[in-house]
A and B are shown apart, each in its own frame.
Chain A
Amino acid sequence: MDCSQVRRYVSAFMDEELDGEKQNRVAGHLAGCRECAQYFREYARVDARLSELPRIDAAPGFASRVMAAAAEHAAAPEAASPLSRLLRIFAGIFEEITRIFEPGHRPDTRILDEFDDCPPLSMSFAYLNLLQQSPRG
């Protein structure tokens, strides 16, 4: 294993994430190569400095605030996703269509009754005729 290969693996070597054989070969090379050993030490120093950073921790009372927020979420109904809203709309349309063909179904003509007449060749005239209903009730 030459120096350029070792330097490519040095990061994974530090993390002990190379397979056993590769890990041993890198270790063997570092033991006998001062330049690569220096390269390894510089990488290790980066990790050491990073580990020295003070840890950012939760402020006091964080857990209680989360518990309270979660309780609020549990009490509130979950907002419907766009897909579920669309499915609900289609389900409503499907239900309306099947209801028309149910035996004994009588169309509600109250809205039409508010008008004086259903014009011939209109959709409402055809619809009521199909159902053998008089446009005038």
Chain B
Amino acid sequence: MNDPDLILLEGIARGDQGAFESLIGRYQGPLHNFIGRYVGDASLAEDIAQEVFIRVFRAARRFEPRTRVSTWIFRIAYNLSMTELDRLRRRQKIREAVEEHGEGGEPACEPAERLELEEELTAALEQLPGNQRAALLLRVNEGLSYREIGQVLGVSLQSVESLLHRARSNLKRYLEKS
């Protein structure tokens, strides 16, 4: 397999700090963007991205090159982001339940400097089901192929095609409404 990242990963497995730094350099941007847009929170993206790299560092020795390294890294990012979103939703439900009983809580406020256009699109993205949002972000923003997206999400090629079709159709509808 002609995967340049595999050379870096082999270096990491041997304890080469330079190889690890290079891999971080190659993926910190794409990971922050994907995770940040997926979870809708840039600061949370930093924590998740750090955890992704720690897991890559720890598992480098055990990596089996059946998939591309990039696909594997995005898969870790996707799984961690899903877990984090679930945790946040559970916490949000608890907070809402507490607020219903009149025990306070500050109202959420959006940063004023956010552009209206970006706000609309971010809100529309957040309305998409998680797997549709992930497929669309991986395709449009990160340029992954259908096969790679299938490996990241753990679904077939047909499912990727269907997810992207529905994601675009839903996003179009949400944007028309807003």
Nearest-neighbor residue (CB-CB) of A18 within chain B? B161
- Provide the bound-state CA to CA distance between A17 and B33, in Å: 24
Asked if B146 is at the interface of the complex by the 8 Å CB criterion, the answer is yes
Asked if A78 is at the interface of the complex by the 8 Å CB criterion, the answer is yes
A-B contact count (CB 8 A): 97
B171 CB to nearest A CB, Å: 5
Residues of chain B contacted by A52 (CB below 8 angstroms): 117
Grouping DSSP codes into helix (H, G, I), strand (E, B) and loop, the B interface class, with mixed when no group exceeds half, is helix
Chain A residues bordering chain B, tally (CB within 8 A): 32
Asked if B4 is at the interface of the complex by the 8 Å CB criterion, the answer is no
Nearest-neighbor residue (CB-CB) of A78 within chain B? B58
A19 CB to nearest B CB, Å: 12
Q: Which of B45, B125, B146 contacts A56 (CB 8 A)?
A: B45
Residues of chain B contacted by A62 (CB below 8 angstroms): 24, 28, 32, 46, 49-50
Not counting A11-B169, A56-B32, a sample of 18 additional A-B residue pairs whose C-beta atoms are within 8 angstroms of each other reads: A15-B146, A43-B168, A45-B172, A50-B121, A50-B140, A56-B36, A56-B37, A56-B42, A57-B29, A57-B32, A57-B33, A58-B46, A63-B21, A63-B25, A66-B50, A67-B24, A73-B57, A74-B57
